[in-house]
Structure 1
Amino acid sequence: MKVGLFIPCYINQLYPQVGIATLELLEKLGVDVDYPMGQTCCGQPLGNSGYEDDSKGICQLFVENFKTYDYIVGPSGSCVYHVKKHFDILEQTEDVKRVRKNTYELCQFIHDVLGKTHLGASFPYKVGIHKSCHGLRGLRLGSCSERMDTHYSTEEDLLKNVKGLELKTLKRVDECCGFGGTFSVFEEAISVKMGNDRIRDHIDSDVQVITGADHSCLMHLEGLINRNKQPLKVMHIAEILNSSI
């Protein structure tokens, strides 16, 4: 298979180590990875702000950049969800339908497509998972507490097989962090309160490192942690799964 690596804007600009970890991890797993240099934003910020119609050009450019790949893989549940669910604003050509169908979040691709859970990683720390709303409730990366589903979690399956890692159980395992893209700008006070509540849950659960599959949420939490000088580290799950500490 030939995989097109999709690196979201904020990872490209602010967290390049996550993009590097994603590439290295996929290559370790024997995947033939290519990075289309013409890729830009997937259009999610415009869509979140109510300007979906104005984002059609960006969405179409995404399709043009990735239409030849067997799979498109990115380390961001929210961006992947936007491609899969919100590219319905485009004319549904065969290229558009193929890109929407074959775009996967990183953990989902490793777990469901490659069928792997033991990745040879080592990370001797106490870790708490922040399960982002887009990944959990959109992409169905795990069961939701508001539904009477049998428990499952793609992220947990992968992290439980990391040598030395102690996965901690939170009191509120899948509560929103309050980021929500532009929500954190327009509803700052609510967003901050929700984020601080999530951080407190991790601290109370004796977590050393907060991880997750969506660095937009992690960015929000990391900003609050740094501002409040709290004893927590934030790392994208790709960095942990690629680690050999």
Structure 2
Amino acid sequence: MASEKTQRLVVLIDADNTQASIIDGLLAEIAKYGVASAKRIYGDWTSQALRGWKEVLLEHSIQPIQQFGYTRGKNATDSAMIIDAMDLLYTGNFDGFCIVSSDSDFTKLACRIRESGLFVYGFGEKKTPSAFVSACDKFIYTEVLRAKTNESDAITRKSTAELKKDTRLVRLLRNAVDSASDEGGWAHLATVGSTIAKQSPEFDPRNYGYGKLGELVKTTKLFDLDERPGADGHSKSIYLKDKRKKE
């Protein structure tokens, strides 16, 4: 994985398990992490079911890979994607992979790529099996990407009461703050975010209707927040402390 230079990313899309409506949001999201140096999409392009994808491929310079369904009930697309992914991995020209699918068949592929030291970004619907989600370094639910481009798909922002009732979220936030805190119990927000990402690849404030982690944490009202001057003297750094902690 690249550290200081821009990551060169491979984008592999399973057209059979992904809706074309996410394309703008998908590419905008990928641009946050690096440059999409290779973009391929797999499916049976003789099928009318992929008509939506056909209309956007040229506009976004995505290379379609034809894969006929040789056997009824079997997804030949998976095999083609996996073979190409390994070929691209062995070139040594890339820093990470974006696997776009809600299919658990790509779990082993994600694990193998990570074993080679490359970062894996997964993209899929909320129905994606947890095994594939956990196999990725970061996993983004595509419902969030559709909400970016279509107001009717916008995710409802959860209230303080609703967030507090989400025991998994509360436990995740509290554990991350505890792990990142200093002797006084204060934890830097950025460090908290990094800790959460390692524990829960699918965590994203947007899943709860919030654009930033700081907004989500503030709304829970479970933590004291402290804004401190950044090292450059201009920016602000946010620190958190569990309200259950005593001075």
- Please report the TM-score for the alignment, with normalisation by the length of structure 2: 0.32
- Please report the TM-score for the alignment, with normalisation by the length of structure 1: 0.32
The structure that has the greater radius of gyration is: 2
Q: From the two aligned structures, give the one with the greater strand fraction.
A: 2
